[in-house]
A and B are shown apart, each in its own frame.
Chain A
Amino acid sequence: MPRVAIVGGGLAGFVAYLTLRRGGVEDVTVFSTEADPAAAWRRRAAAIRQTHMRSESDGHCLPTSFPGLAVREARRRRSLTPLAASVCNRYHPTVESFVGHVEEQRAASGWQPVLERIERVRAVDGGFELDSHGTFEHVLLATGPPGPVLPEELRSDNRAVHAYEPHEYAESVCVLGAGLAAATEWRNALAAGSRVISVRRREPVRRPLNVPREYLTRRRLSGFHRLGREERARLLKELLAPSFPPGSEWDEPLASDRFTVESRVNGADQVICATGFLHGFRHDPLLARLVAVHDLATANGWIELSPDSTVPALTDESRTLAVAGVAAQWAYPAADTLMGARYAAHGFLRRCRTR
């Protein structure tokens, strides 16, 4: 039985763990700094006062897309309404429901990570050495977003707070960004009675999910994978442009005369940076070291991965190094979502089972 390790115990690591268990891989060691796989995500959701998930019924941690959260809720409520809503793409689980699902799975799966941060992954014969924990033949790196983006000019501005940090709303609030976090902050601040100034570099894209749905399946992924490095980097940048869902629940609050769009940060009492996370391996010490030591191929800040999210230079017949989460967007543009976590986990499971 090969030794398998997951570095990172967030949602992507948790999805991979459940997938490996379902696939019959028993000897899985998870390294994490927190026991709760939803801890980091929960803090961020609480910070922006998120009530519903952007994802749909299949935005869950199980290895298969069915049964989804709509089925879970239908069973719990003894109602077909969630299923009907799901069929019409109108079902978005509540944060509470999602967290409850994670708790259930965590309790049922025997999830017990080693509470330690892995600093170094070193390729050795037949596997990878993880700090002093010995050699593992198959390793999945699910280290999560490296940190929030805070514009340089606002670092010393004490009015500034990142959207994913706990905060209240001042009388006038300037929100930087144009993605889901920004849109949520516009609504929150308006509901709190604030005057809201939206500052953004471009008009937000309106779409239901993070990326167009065709890029969630092989339909468009095959073409994406065939693109050359420059073209793929360009398309990835386009696909990852800030977006939030269409719908009156988002549009109606913005019709308020307390909401304006301006081109620069002005004299607002508070500046909320809904500017997302740092992208690219350079901001993640573990990945940066890995790239430097093994001279891995990169493009525009991405580690160049194979379509199944593995690192080609460090994956062969006897071992696998794969990446999940935001750092795996080179292989799967929506890698930072739960579907993306599942995609990487499926690829990783195939490697663990067949090698």
Chain B
Amino acid sequence: MSYTLRGRLESRLAALVLPLVVACALAGGLRTWWPIELAGLMGAVGVALDLVYHRPIRYQPGWAALPLGVLELGVLMALVRVLQLHAPLAAALGFFAAAWLWAQALGHALLPFWRLSWSEDGGELGRAGVAVAAAFVLLFAGSGAVWWHGLPPTVHLAAGIHRGPIFIDRRERLVGDGAAVVLGGIVVRHSDVTISHVRVIGGDNGIVVDGAQRVVLDHVSVSRASGDGIHVRHASVTIRHCDIDMLGSQYGQGIDISYGMLQGDSVVERCTVVGGQDGIVAHGSMAMIMHNHVERTTMTAISMTEMSMGMVGHNTVRNALGIGILCGDRSICEIERNAVAGTRRDDATGNKMRAGFGLEVEFGAEAELSRNDLAANPRSMGVFLNSIVRWR
């Protein structure tokens, strides 16, 4: 087929209407946005590539749909990753494959059969094409309106000092304007809460998330908390770009995510934690701990323990006492591309398992390792008490 540009776009949109309807139904049924986001992204990628294809591909033989489909899938999945769309991989691939097959059936059989002059019109659909484009825009705009309507209210915290603790018991976006400081901590007790650009000083714990899901802490900083910097219990959180200062705290952890196994994945990424017993610790939780910098901890810099599952990757650890990264107590960990250096021996405890290990796997834990830099430590790695290590 030698498509005209309009023909390409109209045929593309015609093929996307059904997947978008299915995505809306899925989103409603699963109470999640990723199907619509994925369908929208598929449309955007498809239309963008159509604009690119138009000039070089004067004639598109039937077989070309396969390599072009693979290219589109590659671009789509890259964007899914970059935009951090929370689409399960298998479901996303299945959705794309089904939509692609539908597009082929439509382009090779249904449209040429339904519209007499589809081929000679270069894929253009005439007035139906306008209707199709309108349907696509309406569906997508409708979904966007529902999404917008469902957004939690935004509360702006003015620059300056606010006495805490602040309790958040509803869906809310708490956004600090400039230098907003909360003295005495913040406590989150509701799902779908986002806190961004807020500095917390003091408090029993800096920020507490208790029994909530889909909580996002973005660009927050905590210092001088008497307990933990960020204290998460029975909850799932995404913590990004945080700055936790635990220097001077004898027993507090920088970020402590505990007992969240049933609440879903938690993510800690691009945070800096200085001081504290444990820098970042997951107890009985599923966690992704990525791209963080942790230093000067007194127990363990990064720890996944008590049957936790997850990934520890691309982190840098400096000057930890005893242990740099720990996978312990029957946890299952993927540990890759971390750089641990300057871990110090903790001879005062008399515990040989704290003899300055860059990486330690202990007590029935299983770890899969890849490309970690552990050389600049007294002991690069230790494996204890029926634990298993695999290298990739």
Contact = CB atoms under 8 A, between A and B. Distances in A.
Interface stretch (A61-69, A119-127, A129-137): A61-69
For the side of the interface on A, what is the size category?
20 to 34
Interface stretch (A96-104, A140-148, A216-224, A281-289): A216-224
A56 to B, nearest CB: 10
B109 A67 contact: yes
B1 interface: yes
A217 B2 contact: yes
Interface in A193-237: 213-214, 216-222
Contact of A58 (B4, B115, B119, B124): B119
A342 B119 CA distance: 10
Contacts of A339: 119-120
Nearest to B58: A214
A303 interface: no
B382 interface: no
The residue among A22, A23, A65, A349 with the most chain B CB atoms within 10 A of its own CB is: A65
Contact of A64 (B2, B7, B112): B112
Contacts of B350: none
Contacts of B3: 217, 219
Contacts of A275: none
Contacts of B123: 217
B113 interface: yes
B59 interface: yes
Interface in B1-39: 1-4, 7
A67 B1 CA distance: 15
Q: Which of A86, A88, A89, A217 has the most CB of B within 10 A?
A: A217
Interface of A: 19, 22-23, 58, 63-67, 86-89, 213-214, 216-222, 339, 342-343, 346, 349
Nearest to B119: A65
A181 to B, nearest CB: 25
A66 B118 CA distance: 10
A217 B6 CA distance: 13
A217 B119 contact: yes
Contacts of B112: 64-66
B91 to A, nearest CB: 28
A110 B2 CA distance: 34
13 contacts: A22-B116, A66-B109, A67-B109, A86-B62, A89-B62, A213-B2, A217-B1, A217-B3, A218-B7, A219-B3, A221-B120, A339-B119, A349-B116
B364 interface: no
B2 A220 contact: yes
Interface string B354-391: 00000000000000000000000000000000000000
B121 A214 contact: no
A81 to B, nearest CB: 14
Best-buried of B3, B108, B109, B117 by chain A (most CB within 10 Å): B117
Contacts of B147: none
Given A66-B109, A217-B2, A218-B4, A88 B122 contact: no
Contact of A67 (B2, B113, B118): B113
Contacts of B117: 343, 346
Contact of B59 (A19, A65, A213, A221): A213
B116 A218 contact: no
Nearest to A68: B112
A217 B61 contact: no
A214 B2 contact: yes
A87 B62 contact: yes
B63 interface: yes
A17 to B, nearest CB: 14
B5 to A, nearest CB: 9
A222 B119 CA distance: 14
Identify the interface centre among B112, B118, B119, B121: most chain A CB within 10 Å of its CB.
B119
Given A64-B115, A87-B63, A346-B117, 12 more contacts: A64-B113, A65-B119, A89-B61, A89-B62, A214-B2, A214-B59, A217-B7, A217-B119, A217-B123, A218-B122, A218-B124, A220-B2
A69 to B, nearest CB: 14
Contacts of A64: 112-113, 115-116, 118
Nearest to B116: A346
Contacts of B62: 86-89
